[in-house]
Amino acid sequence: MHIRPEARKTVLEIVDRYKDEPSPLMLILSDCQKEFGYIPLEVQEVISEATGVPTAEIYGVVTFYNFFTLEPKGKYVIGVCTGTACYVKGSQNVSDKIGELLKIKPGETTKDGLFSLDNVRCLGACGIAPAVSINGKVYPKVQLSQVDKILDEYRKKEEA
């Protein structure tokens, strides 16, 4: 196990926070996700050790819920809405295009750690379908031709 002692301490503190809960696993994982931005195996091992829940079971929960991730997310998290309205308006093509440009699949992060791509369910913005959100900022009626420009916006921000 190769976990920094401070990180280990943090995990144990989080576990301790929920020691009186009848089933604390989700709460612990949720706090760990917020704390570290992801839940690597090393963290799962510490949780397992402290709670007695087998690592395989924790791993199962982490891989079941979209909210938990095993890898750190990118600096900019792109969410392409694949709800019914956006899908009908061609959001799948938008997602494919972004994936092609960034060379990643939905759920993955670029090697430089700048972008993550997620296909998300309805953003509640069906009127502006297809919608894409990047770190909370929503882009309406995204055309394939716009995609590269939108990404450039963030690339330039980094260079500046």
Summarize as ranges the residues that interact with other proteins (CB under 8 A): 1-2, 41, 44-45, 53-57, 59-60, 63-64
- The least distance separating other proteins from the CB of residue 52, rounded to whole angstroms, comes to 9
Query: Do residues 47 and 8 make contact, with C-beta atoms less than 8 angstroms apart?
Result: no
Q: Which is nearer to other proteins, 40 or 99 (CB)?
A: 40
* Strand segments (E) across the chain: 76-81, 115-120, 132-134, 137-139
- The least distance separating other proteins from the CB of residue 25, rounded to whole angstroms, comes to 12
Q: Which is nearer to other proteins, 53 or 122 (CB)?
A: 53
Q: Which is nearer to other proteins, 4 or 64 (CB)?
A: 64
End-to-end CA distance of the chain: 39
Alpha-carbon distance 76 to 48, whole Å? 31
